[in-house]
Chains A and B, each alone.
Chain A
Amino acid sequence: NAGVMQNPRHLVRRRGQEARLRCSPMKGHSHVYWYRQLPEEGLKFMVYLQKENIIDESGMPKERFSAEFPKEGPSILRIQQVVRGDSAAYFCASSPEGRTGELFFGEGSRLTVL
Chain B
Amino acid sequence: GQNIDQPTEMTATEGAIVQINCTYQTSGFNGLFWYQQHAGEAPTFLSYNVLDGLEEKGRFSSFLSRSKGYSYLLLKELQMKDSASYLCAAPERGGKLIFGQGTELSVKP
29 intermolecular pairs with C-beta atoms under 8 Å apart = A35-B99, A40-B104, A42-B87, A42-B99, A42-B101, A42-B102, A43-B87, A43-B102, A44-B99, A45-B96, A45-B97, A45-B98, A45-B99, A48-B94, A55-B94, A56-B95, A91-B42, A91-B43, A95-B95, A100-B91, A100-B95, A101-B33, A101-B48, A102-B33, A103-B45, A103-B97, A105-B42, A105-B44, A107-B42
Q: Is B89 an interface position by the 8 A CB rule? A: yes
B contact residues around A105 at 8 Å (CB): 42-44
Q: Is B19 an interface position by the 8 A CB rule? A: no
Chain A interface (Cβ < 8 Å from any Cβ of B): 4, 31, 33, 35, 40-45, 48, 55-56, 91, 93, 95, 100-108
Given A42-B100, A102-B45, 13 more A-B residue pairs with CB atoms under 8 Å apart are A33-B97, A43-B102, A45-B96, A45-B97, A48-B94, A91-B43, A100-B95, A101-B30, A101-B31, A101-B91, A101-B97, A105-B42, A106-B42
**Are the CB atoms of A100 and B30 closer together than 8 Å?**
yes
Among A35, A40, A101, A102, residue most surrounded by chain B Cβ atoms (within 10 Å): A101
- B8 → A minimal CB distance (Å): 9
Docked Cα-Cα span, A31 to B89, in Å, equals 18
* CB-contact partner of B95 in A35, A44, A55, under 8 A: A55
B contact residues around A91 at 8 Å (CB): 42-43
Docked Cα-Cα span, A92 to B21, in Å, equals 26
Docked Cα-Cα span, A112 to B40, in Å, equals 14
B contact residues around A93 at 8 Å (CB): 97
B contact residues around A4 at 8 Å (CB): 42
A contact residues around B90 at 8 Å (CB): 101
